[in-house]
Structure 1
């Protein structure tokens, strides 16, 4: 029987569909079935709906074991037990049933779906910022789940040892989180999560730690889809605007997407320095970042006090500010030019910055898309030259809400997925 990338066991049809769309929208062939069968299916992601959300524990275990046994024959790279974000159903029983069939040592359980208002803090499940137990009567009066603390909910259904990965632990770098996961002796690791970027972070770390069994809700689908989708070249976000809006957008982007931020620093020596020499260390930093991250920020607009110092020094020396701008432009090109072949898409903030990068590509023109990503900011692709087809976006520096760069980065990333 052919192998698949991912096998998912869901306890109801809507749950199987809402996690499945994260994979189908990423270009992975995704199939959902309610009738279990062992005949070969040519797909990347295979989802079985066992319809056991309201089943008695004994029946739920039998159905899940049967589904797991069939999935095992497909030799999946990873296995997911889709659970309910309100923790209804035989969650603990079903987790253990899958574990026994596959022989997994560890399961990462992420019950959060931040985009749907479901988060996990200190092991407690929250709905729109309130403990699950406080809203259960409102969201589902028929639920028999008691409490909000996930380890306690699991303990009522399984004897599998449970550990909680706390928010402060998961804010560390990937290497530290990998070490934390490997050191835990628990069978189920419940991960705190308040933002989707944090969810993606802990899932990447768990995969690096060798975990191949996951349990979660809608939000887990995005994180796993990022692991399974084809490797795409990185998106470079170049920021040259001195607008306060641009600085706010960079700060939000760093938090939301956890991307490396290379900030060019300036002092008086820049006015007389060899710009290529000045660029050398930043070029090395950018190269390293492009090798490791899907999104990288290169900010050539310095901190305002540094810029004001340059202006005062230039005024004293009789140097025009346009000369400073030309030197910044030359330095930017020196940083980026040798690395262009490694870049998949560009988002440039600030008109002169966008012009500098565009001229560097030696493209003939831009093919504008038929829609705007943000008001006044359309998607586009380069036409002509070595980088034909590269997504290219130019955003006015002072425009857009704080999430503007996040939305632009994610959009051009999707353009790379569907050239």
Structure 2
């Protein structure tokens, strides 16, 4: 088999987001969690494969090593083009990991430059004059700047990326994008002649991303969020939209939330306001040795099985800062991931067959705990938030892995309404 495109996503929710984007573009897409083994199978008629890693917040050297292993596996399946998918908020640190991973993928491919654009207009992420906006706010002024592991206090993408790579960073501004595919291709060639390796592109609409995708069709490595991936996918000839995969029916429904994003906090508030069973996990008590997981399971067993339940460790920026001050950033994250991963296993053993997970790191912890290595992508509940079909040791599972910032405020209620 020969894949048209292979994607490396730097977290698990990003993997589901970009897999849904490829499917919207008409590409039949497989989603694999973690670096695949040599014998990891793919469907025979697969157009694209997405490998979802947990490399966004790992040390840069580790992120590079895993990304290169994923690239080699994708090449072994015949793919000629690699798409490196990161968050539409460009989550990273001054040392990486976007720059180091992009450079490593380019070096391995022998490619002179790449196009980069994290715009995702349906989710309010746009790029103008090289600056990343969240709706009408600069990223650095928006609530998304408070990410617990990768806070984003600068909105200038060229400046952010220049701090992560020894290579030159350039920009294709919106007027050039609006001139069309040929103008963008000429701009890329001009940047290549000038020794620029990373070319940021402005984009305000899906039409802009379609232009960029068509212009980048021949590049060995392209980087960005799911919006550019969809634009690139539409540049490949297809027979139309790929069909949605069927999802399992029946069973209990639950939400596990670890994200502390403003949108996830809104979704939690709406679920609670609807009078549905909700339980907040005490991370500090768990770190002090109290068996919070056992307490949560006792609470779960006492709930009406006909109602969806919510268990969350999410907290406001102030509450999160207090926890991190006592435990440290890494230990606080480890406590949350350990709790929610363990609860996911127990919930599925107790008959949960509809599981919605909020947060990239949380999604990685849950899929790892459940030993889920691959899923089939189903219909989206909101842009970039698809249901997936996963097989577990206790039966089939309808699984939604939601980026913390994604989904409407009523997503938890709406997504589970017909799945209880």
Partner deviation per Cα, 1:345-375 (whole Å, 9 max, x = no partner): xxxxxxxxxxxxxxxxxxxxxxxxxxxxxxx
**2:21 matches 1:22:** yes
Provide the rounded CA distance (Å) in 2 between the counterparts of 1:52 and 1:130.
27
CA root-mean-square deviation: 1.9
The counterpart of 1:74, out of the listed 74, 77, 98, is: 77
**2:194 matches 1:195:** no
Q: Is the CA contact (8 Å cut-off) linking 2:57 and 2:149 kept in structure 1?
A: no
Provide the rounded CA distance (Å) in 1 between the counterparts of 2:145 and 2:84.
26
Provide the rounded CA distance (Å) in 2 between the counterparts of 1:75 and 1:217.
23
Residue aligning to 2:183: 176
Partner deviation per Cα, 1:9-64 (whole Å, 9 max, x = no partner): 00111101111112224442211112412235332211111211221112111111
> Which one has the bigger helix percentage?
1
SS in 1 for 2:132: strand
Change (3 A) 1:54 1:177: closer
SS in 2 for 1:112: coil
Shift of 1:153: 1.1
Change (3 A) 1:173 1:24: closer
SS in 2 for 1:87: coil
TM-score (norm 1): 0.52
Residue aligning to 1:37: 37
The counterpart of 1:204, out of the listed 200, 204, 214, is: 214
Partner deviation per Cα, 1:168-198 (whole Å, 9 max, x = no partner): 1212133222222222122111100111101
Provide the rounded CA distance (Å) in 1 between the counterparts of 2:178 and 2:205.
11
The counterpart of 1:117, out of the listed 115, 124, 129, is: 124
Change (3 A) 1:204 1:74: same
Residue aligning to 2:10: 11
SS in 2 for 1:184: helix
Partner deviation per Cα, 1:382-410 (whole Å, 9 max, x = no partner): xxxxxxxxxxxxxxxxxxxxxxxxxxxxx
Q: Is the CA contact (8 Å cut-off) linking 1:118 and 1:125 kept in structure 2?
A: yes
Q: Is the CA contact (8 Å cut-off) linking 1:80 and 1:213 kept in structure 2?
A: yes
The counterpart of 1:215, out of the listed 216, 219, 223, is: 223
TM-score (norm 2): 0.51
Q: Is the CA contact (8 Å cut-off) linking 1:69 and 1:101 kept in structure 2?
A: no
Q: Any gaps of 5 or more consecutive residues in structure 2? A: 241-420
**2:71 matches 1:92:** no
Shift of 1:136: 4.9
Provide the rounded CA distance (Å) in 2 between the counterparts of 1:71 and 1:138.
33
Q: Any gaps of 5 or more consecutive residues in structure 1? A: 233-419
Provide the rounded CA distance (Å) in 2 between the counterparts of 1:130 and 1:74.
42
Residue aligning to 1:405: none
Greater RCO (CA < 8 Å, at least 6 residues apart): 2
Provide the rounded CA distance (Å) in 1 between the counterparts of 2:185 and 2:89.
28
SS in 2 for 1:63: helix
Q: Point out 4+ residue stretches in structure 1 off by more than 3 angstroms.
A: 136-139
